[in-house]
Amino acid sequence: MKRLRFATLSALTVALFGTTASADGPVPLTEILVGFAAKESCSCAFVVEQADEYCREFGKLGGLNVDSTIDRAARTVTSSFQGATRIARVDASGGCVLDGK
């Protein structure tokens, strides 16, 4: 519960600023949120092998309505929120990674 509160508080803090820094410039908060959802849901579905519905909920941060689609055949998770979309896929080592942006 403390982890969820900390994560939610952290996300809200970043939301107040709207972006965070990266080597390529500012990254919109929505990109961070959907990246988190895609990677966490991917790990849940393909590494820990849980059910799709559980993994879609597992990847959500602070109850935000992130839409995640798990493609078992392609071994990918596509997550979207407020116009931002990220894809996580199982890599050669068996873990999940985000597609490059």
Domain layout of the chain by residue ranges: 2-98
Count of CB atoms situated within 10 Å of the CB of 14: 16
Tell me if residue 45 falls in helix, strand or coil.
helix
Q: How confident is the model at residue 60 (pLDDT cuts 50, 70, 90)?
A: confident
Cβ–Cβ < 8 Å for 41, 58? yes
Q: How confident is the model at residue 64 (pLDDT cuts 50, 70, 90)?
A: confident
Q: What is the dihedral of CA 61, 6, 45, 32, to 10 degrees?
A: 50
Cβ-based neighbours of 56, under 8 Å, separated by 6 or more: 41, 68, 70
Altogether, the residues listed in the chain come to a count of: 101
Tens of pLDDT, residue by residue over 30-48, are 899 999 999 999 999 999 9
Tell me the pTM: 0.73
**b (16+ CB within 10 A) / e for 15-29:** eeeeeeeeeeeebeb
pLDDT for residue 62: 76
